[in-house]
Amino acid sequence: MPRFFFNIRNGDDYIADPDGTELADLDAAVEEALTGARELLSEIVRLGKLVDGQSFEITDETGAVVRVVPFKDAVRFS
C-alpha cells in the first residue's frame, strides 16, 4: 500500500508529517485528511482561534503534493 503524508499548512507555517500513513489509495487519503481536519477544527473552534486558510497538503513517498485539502472542506454548512 502507498504511504501518504499529511502535512499541515497554515499561512506561512508548515508542520511536516514525518511518519505518514499507509492507505489503499488517494481517495482513502483524502477521507483521512477530512477526518483529521474535523478533529483539528473542533480544537481550533474550542480555543476561539481563527479558522482561515488551514489545509492538509497530502504528499506521496517522493514528497510530491498529490492533493491539498482545505480544512473548510471538512465542514458542511447546509
Q: How far is CA 64 from the centre of its chain?
A: 15
DSSP sequence for 1-64: --EEEEEEEETTEEE--SS-EE-SSHHHHHHHHHHHHHHHHHHHHHTT----S-EEEEE-TTS-
pTM over 0.75: yes
Q: Which tens digits make up the pLDDT trace of 10-47?
A: 989 999 999 999 999 999 999 999 999 999 999 999 99
Checking if the pLDDT of 77 tops 90, the result is no
